[in-house]
Amino acid sequence: MNTLQVALGERSYPIYIGPDLLDQVECYARHIKGKQVLLVTNETVAPLYLHRVLMQLRAYNTAQVILPDGEQYKSLDVLNQIFDTLLANKFGRNATLIALGGGVIGDMGGFAAACYQRGIPFIQIPTTLLAQVDSSVGGKTGVNHPLGKNMIGAFYQPQCVIADTGVLDTLDDRQLSAGLAEVIKYGLIRDAEFFDWLDDNMDALLVRDKKALAYAIERSCMNKAEVVAEDETESGIRATLNLGHTFGHAIETGLGYGEYLHGEAVAIGICQAADLSRRKGWLSDNEMGKIKALLKKARLPVYPPDALSTEQFLQLMSVDKKNVDGEIRLILLKAIGQATLPVGVDEQLLRLTLESYKS
């Protein structure tokens, strides 16, 4: 097992990474203070892994919530099921919530923990590649609104993250690729050496070579932990983790949550942000080509859906959280390995990307 630290003063916590961690009681026990534990998972993950976690929690008074599976259920309405179960079981302030699942469950479980009785401790057990490399780390929690992705939420850090790399065996190939989009993102925003490593090792990652996957997860978490430690609540550098997300979130919201996976929408958004960066004279054609080629190698889409018009894109992008006073601000690339902070963009140039960067 490898342990990384997210250094946030009194809110610091470990990320445990390794095989078979679901079965290691010491990963959980030291982070559970009271006797009551609520497990939040979904109908796909429960039959696969809930029993193994419950086996480690025999000493506690446990309850469970099994949510429907899908991005479309990451809503305020469904969130209520978690509060209903906490209250029905008379769980108090020292109850611990464990989120067992992908990013949807992690974001919802974390947000429920942030709100319930104004805050109870929670643990992240991420079970998708995307959740292990990104969503379980850093404390962004929340739900979607029909008008915008993750528009209702809170920054709320977990007590620990338990990333059992063995659970990735049951993940389907499309979900694995979606996770790789966020992995590639770290290379692009701040770790050019990692980008080159990914270029050399993409085939190994796609066949789930254990050593390659463990390395990619650890290096991604290291990158994310460093950024979050520097800027927990996104007043500066943390916004770089949003590369491609303004376009990507527009695709997710515009087409209906769940149509494109988050990672797929981000992959397309990264290409659109790269195209805009090239038009600004920051990225070379060669770098643009390398970015697209690596995303394609990871079996990710690189062009936006025809179904979204430029006007729809602009409308959807106008509700992004990085915007200030109604002005769209984007993370762009100066080079592979170097992202900008949010920058206001000339609308004509943005329109050019939206109209011309197409399959």
Ligand X SMILES: O=C(O)C(=O)C[C@@H](O)[C@H](O)[C@H](O)COP(=O)(O)O
Ligand Y SMILES: NC(=O)c1ccc[n+]([C@@H]2O[C@H](COP(=O)([O-])OP(=O)(O)OC[C@H]3O[C@@H](n4cnc5c(N)ncnc54)[C@H](O)[C@@H]3O)[C@@H](O)[C@H]2O)c1
280 is catalytic: no
Asked if residues 195 and 287 have their Cβ atoms less than 8 Å apart, the reply is no
Asked if residues 135 and 181 have their Cβ atoms less than 8 Å apart, the reply is no
Does 145 belong to an annotated binding site?
no
**Residue from 43, 70, 238 nearest 144 by CA:** 70
Which one, 175 or 277, has the nearer CB to ligand Y?
175
Tell me which residues in 263-292 interact with ligand Y (CB under 6 A): 263
What is the distance, to the nearest Å, from the Cα of residue 176 to the centroid of all Cα atoms in its chain?
A: 13
β-strand pairing of 13-18 with 140-145: unpaired
190 is catalytic: no
Answer for which of 22, 130, 302, 345 binds ligand Y (CB under 6 A) is 130
Q: How far is the CB of 128 from ligand Y (least distance, A)?
A: 3
Does 327 belong to an annotated binding site?
no
In this structure, what token pair is assigned to residue 97? 């919530």
What CA–CA distance (Å, rounded) separates 128 from 134? 10
What CA–CA distance (Å, rounded) separates 228 from 234? 8
Helix locations, 7-89, DSSP H: 25-29, 45, 51-56, 76-88
Q: How far is the CB of 134 from ligand X (least distance, A)?
A: 5
Amino acid at 43: E
Catalytic residue among 150, 182, 190, 218: 182
Question: Residue 157's binding partner, choosing from ligand Y, ligand X, none, with beta-carbon cut-off 5 to 8 A by kind?
Answer: none
In this structure, what token pair is assigned to residue 284? 């070379």
Tell me which residues in 93-112 interact with ligand Y (CB under 6 A): 101-105, 107
Does 262 belong to an annotated binding site?
yes
Which positions touch ligand X (CB under 6 A)? 134, 138, 140, 149-150, 182, 234, 238, 241-242, 245, 321
Asked if residues 217 and 163 have their Cβ atoms less than 8 Å apart, the reply is yes
Residues serving a catalytic function are: 118, 140, 182, 224, 234, 238, 242, 245, 249, 262
Binding site, annotated residues: 69-74, 103-107, 127-128, 140, 149, 182, 245, 262
Which positions lie near ligand Y, rule CB under 6 A?
42, 44-45, 48, 69, 71, 74, 101-105, 107, 127-128, 130-131, 134-135, 138, 140, 150, 167, 170-171, 175, 178, 262-263
